[in-house]
Structure formats: structure tokens, C-alpha cells
Amino acid sequence: MKYAIAVVVGLILLGVAGALIRILMPAGAVIKRTELPDFRMTIDDVFALKQLGSVVVVGVINTGQVKVGDTLTVDTENTQIMVQVNGIELGFDNPVQSANAGDKVGVMLSGINNDQIRPNALLRNH
């Protein structure tokens, strides 16, 4: 019974908040997201592409967005290394120009060797 009352009260509050927003916002107004959160991805795995001179890191994007051409930082246990994004794959063999929070991606990086990076390192913008 307690939970049913809490759910009803919550729904009423949501309805009141929605009504206030509709009253206070002009018709046709659009709320724009002006700033995305910083890009963060914990690295799950690392692969060397020796023929391309690149390293591919795999993980799920925690926050933000990454784009081909971005300059990022890899935070390892004892150093920070600047890297360039040369490519992004969503899943397997699905190249894209950008990816967002929640996407499982492979990110091809230049400016780093596979022996400089380990799983659990952080890939982020600076």
C-alpha cells in the first residue's frame, strides 16, 4: 500500500512538472543541448595493427562523444599520452565517423605503441 501511494504521488508530481513546463515555455521552443559531457572511455582491450602503425583500443564509451580526427589523452598508471583518432568502428567491421556514450567501439589511435597502454587505462579528451 505504501508503494502504491508513493507511485501515485510521483505520477502526480511528474504531471504537475510537465504542465508547468508547457505553460512557461513558448510554443515551438526547442531545448538545445549546448555542451556535451567530456569524452571518457575505460579501455577493455588493446590490439596492435603493425601494418598500419596504429593501436586499436576497445571499450564502451562512458560519457560524451568521440569523432575521427579528435586528439585525446590516454591516462595510464604513470603517464599521460596524447593520441590521434584515426578511425572508429561500432561493433565489428562497421566504420563510423563518430560514436556516443553507451556505444561499444574500437578506436584506432596513432601516437602510441601497444606496449604503452593496458586494459583499464582511461581514454579521454583533455
Decide if 26 contacts 109 (C-beta within 8 A): no
User: In 3D, which of 12, 5, 99 has the Cα closest to residue 58?
Assistant: 99
- Assess if residue 26 is contained within a domain: no
Pick from 22-26, 40-44, 122-126 the range whose average pLDDT is largest: 40-44
pLDDT value, residue 82 = 96
- Assess if residue 14 is contained within a domain: no
- Assess if residue 49 is contained within a domain: yes
Cα(116)–Cα(126) distance, integer angstroms: 19
For residue 22, the surrounding DSSP H or E stretch is helix 2-24
Pick from 2-11, 22-31, 35-44, 81-90 the range whose average pLDDT is largest: 81-90
- Assess if residue 113 is contained within a domain: yes
Could you give the number of structural domains in the chain?
1
Mean pLDDT of the region 96-124 = 94
pLDDT value, residue 78 = 86
* Tens digits of residue pLDDT in 38-88: 999 999 999 998 777 789 999 999 999 999 999 999 998 889 999 999 999
Mean pLDDT of the region 113-126 = 91
- Assess if residue 96 is contained within a domain: yes
CATH of the domain at 114: 2.40.30.10
Mean pLDDT score across all residues of the chain: 80
**Structural domain range at position 99:** 40-124
User: What's the pLDDT band for 9 if we cut at 50, 70, 90?
Assistant: very low
- Assess if residue 98 is contained within a domain: yes
